[in-house]
Amino acid sequence: MLRTWRRTTRAGATAIRTHRSAAPTGLVSVDPTNLVDRERNRIAWWLYLAGLGAGVAFLGYSFVGTFALGTFVYYAARPIFRRLRSRLGRDDLAAGATLLGFVVPVLAIVVYVLAQSLRDVASLAGTAPDQYAQLLAPFVDVAALTEGQQDLLTSLLNRPGAVESVPVDRVRSLLTGGLSVVGTVFGVFVHVSLTFGFAFFLLRDGDRIAAWFRNNVAGEGTTGHAYATAVDDDLESVFFGNVLFVFVMAVLAAVVYYGFNLLAPPALSIPFAVLLALLTGVASLIPLVVSKVVYVPLVAYLASVALGTGGVALVYPLGLLVVSFLVLDILPQTFLQPYISGRQIHTGLMMFAYILGPLLFGWYGFFLLPIFVVLVLQAVRIVLTSLLHGDRLTPEVEAAPTMGGEPSEADTPDEGDAPEAGGEPSDRDGSDGDHPRPAGDSSRATDGDE
């Protein structure tokens, strides 16, 4: 019996040890050393990511003009891209076709119009042909050439046949100095190429970026998602709607002014028609006034000239006034502006952004300051009021409801337009693009370092 009692005691002790070893891990004390190592590892990763973020910020600052122009090209071309994608069925083909078939021709026309406007400005300012170097200075580094080289370049531009009489040493010196000018032109070419590359990848991968943002940064129904969609919608309105409206108005004004010059006597022809057409397009952003600020003084000038030549000639300025009122005033406000621009943010703000941006930042300020204005405006409308009153942040618009887009109005990817290259966003995290995984889902991968 004593042996039986000892075996029973040993069996009971073994069972107790087994039960303790199988006890829930939550009841076992955690080693503080593991917690310290875990937090130290996370801090190290955060410091590393902060360094990478500083590098990205430096690159963005160094190429801020390129990224601002690329953002403009992306938003200006995105409506066209979506139409092409629904027909072509591939994001990469639609993005390439949009840039080559829409953006490049439009930019070529803009460059031509600007060149003609510069010529008109030069004529208006009395710039002589021997001052080409000064006109080129804003675009190429003519200052890199010495005074003698600039004089030689000017003489060759005026009399190209005189190159045979120029000493070889002077030509060699001019070519050597011209390498710096070529370097500047090459730099412009690189920036334009980077701009188109940036816009191409945004067009092709935009839906995947948006899905990643919804799944990992700010899901639908959050304040961050509402702010991002409102900014996205307003930037498209600004860069596609407003800029396209200015472009269409400039083209219409050019047709009206050149048509007038074909019908009117030479004494009543409109001077600097291209420049005035460009100014008419820009003036179309002014609320209520629209293009009157350009064509009314122009008609007054032509009427004064007509009075000096005879009363019968007044019919031409009066005809121009009627046509301009119908084509450059009634037509834009009644049909073009609602159809092209749709809902707009405050036009006064955007007008000041377009004017002050180049004065503050240079050429890329025309694109950068409108982006900044949209970011500030949406932050005030959605976030600022709740922060000031200490209320809970919501995705609802709290201030200035008519000065920008509603978050719910932001465009969403069309059905069937999910990108086919690189896999769905759900391939990485196990969730579909429209329904992010709950934060407590145990299927989410954990950090291997923790």
- Return the percentage of the chain with pLDDT > 90, whole number: 17
Which range among 203-217, 298-312, 328-342, 422-436 has the greatest average pLDDT? 203-217
> Other CB atoms closer than 10 Å to residue 35's CB: what's the count?
10
pLDDT given at position 175: 59
Residue 415, pLDDT > 60, answer: no
pLDDT in tens, 230-266: 899 888 888 888 778 888 888 899 899 999 999 888 8
Sequence letter at residue 344: Q
What residue ranges do the domains of the chain occupy? 64-217, 247-331
Name 33's Cβ contacts closer than 8 Å, sequence gap at least 6: none
What is the SS3 assignment for 432? Answer: strand
Sequence letter at residue 205: D
What is the SS3 assignment for 403? Answer: coil
Rounded Cα–Cα distance for residues 412 and 207 (Å) = 9
| Rounded average pLDDT over 380-406 | 82
Residue 300, pLDDT > 70, answer: yes
Question: Between residues 437 and 108, which one has the greater pLDDT?
Answer: 108
How many separate helices (H) and strands (E) can be counted in the chain? 18, 0
> Other CB atoms closer than 10 Å to residue 358's CB: what's the count?
15
- Return the percentage of the chain with pLDDT > 70, whole number: 66
Residue 435, pLDDT > 50, answer: no
Rounded Cα–Cα distance for residues 399 and 381 (Å) = 5
pLDDT given at position 20: 47
pLDDT in tens, 111-170: 777 777 777 666 666 654 444 445 444 444 455 555 555 555 565 555 555 545 555 555
Residue 201, pLDDT > 90, answer: yes
Residue 381, pLDDT > 80, answer: yes
Residue 43, pLDDT > 80, answer: yes
pLDDT given at position 30: 56
Name 184's Cβ contacts closer than 8 Å, sequence gap at least 6: 140, 141, 144
Which residues lie across from 432 on neighbouring strands?
Answer: 435
| pTM exceeding 0.85 | no
pLDDT in tens, 1-38: 445 545 555 555 554 454 444 444 444 555 667 777 77
Residue 227, pLDDT > 70, answer: yes
Residue 187, pLDDT > 80, answer: no
Question: Between residues 145 and 76, which one has the greater pLDDT?
Answer: 76
pLDDT given at position 129: 44
Q: Model confidence at 220, in pLDDT bands (50, 70, 90)?
A: confident
The count of C-alpha atoms lying within 13 angstroms of the C-alpha of 114, restricted to the half-sphere facing its C-beta, is: 9
Residue 359, pLDDT > 70, answer: yes
At residue 432, φ and ψ (nearest 5 deg) are -80, 165
| Rounded average pLDDT over 391-414 | 69
Question: Between residues 69 and 136, which one has the greater pLDDT?
Answer: 69
Angle (nearest 5°) at CA 51 between 48 and 54: 155
| Rounded average pLDDT over 353-380 | 88
Rounded Cα–Cα distance for residues 70 and 72 (Å) = 5
Q: 377-381 contacts: CB < 8 A, separation 24 or more?
A: 377/234, 377/345, 377/346, 377/349, 377/403, 377/404, 378/227, 378/230, 378/231, 378/234, 378/404, 379/227, 381/230
Mean pLDDT across the chain: 74
pLDDT given at position 433: 38
Per DSSP, the residues of 86-131 read HHH--HHHHHHHHIIIIIHHHHHHHHHHHHHHHHHHHHHTT--GGG
pLDDT given at position 173: 60
Question: Between residues 342 and 417, which one has the greater pLDDT?
Answer: 342
